[in-house]
Amino acid sequence: MGRVQRAAIVSFLLLGAMFITVPVFAQMDFSGEWNPIFYEDQPERVAGPEIGDYTGIPITDAARVRADSWKASVQTLPEWQCRPHSADYIWRGPSQLRVTKEVDPVTRKVSAWHAEWLRSVDNVIYMDGRPHPPDYAEHTWGGFATGEMVGQTMTVTVTHLKEGYLRRNGLPRSDTAKIVEHWIRHGDYLTVAVIMYDPVYLAEPFVRTTDYRLNPGGLVAPYPCEVVEEITRPKGSVPSWLPGKNPDLTEYAEKYGLPQEATRGGPQTMYPEYRSKLK
């Protein structure tokens, strides 16, 4: 064996050893078409919750006043008809989910994820370590989201959201809120835990989990929304109730035989000890 052949073999072995000893970079793959599991919190997914149902939600007095004055017909206004669900609420929307990824061609790492529903904007999650912009930067329906992998769980932080809603019965979410999401995949199932911090409308953090199932043949259809005049009303009129004038706030408690106090929400209604207080 000549010197050149020996040198080639040694170089090949060293190169192989280098690839063996370099740590392998692995990330959970969340990409695909996902179907929502509709029997989970079904009223949230389709028809929407009942008027006056704030049970178990740690709302502030300010949130309660806003919700009490809400009328569902506000959604017939032109500026509401094609309004997308914001990034924090869309997890509970009645739509399939598409997740795609951007991969850096050099490092082969995921640099960004894209999440898209039927009635949403393209929600981008940056994985390249960039900082969040200052508070005065533009707020959008998708907000500004960054993510990091913690083991096989992806933790996402969302800021810079336009004002939205916590539930589709008038409970608001302010534009100062911060959202933390934890994406967890178990085979064909995706669980997302959403933790909301809102200094205006929440007295304590609010946690919800939502589940999806992988559907390789799924499709997120286009949403060609067109604004029309649904109801003729005076110019500048905005449907709402004046404080203390909403006649529907007691209907939920009466329908299910619940104490009216419990349905009004607040941090105390989240905990099991609250039942003994009612007794």
CA distance 30 to 101: 8
Residues 50-84: b if buried by 16+ CB within 10 A, e if exposed: bbbbbbebbbbeebbebbbbbeeeeeebeeeeeeb
**pLDDT band, residue 3 (cuts 50/70/90):** low
CA distance 279 to 264: 17
pTM of the predicted structure, to 2 decimals = 0.86
Low-confidence winner among 103-107, 246-250, 273-277 (lowest mean pLDDT): 273-277
Q: Which architecture, in CATH terms, is 32-54+71-214?
A: Beta Barrel (2.40)
**pLDDT band, residue 6 (cuts 50/70/90):** low
Instruction: Answer yes or no: is pLDDT of 214 > 70.
Output: yes
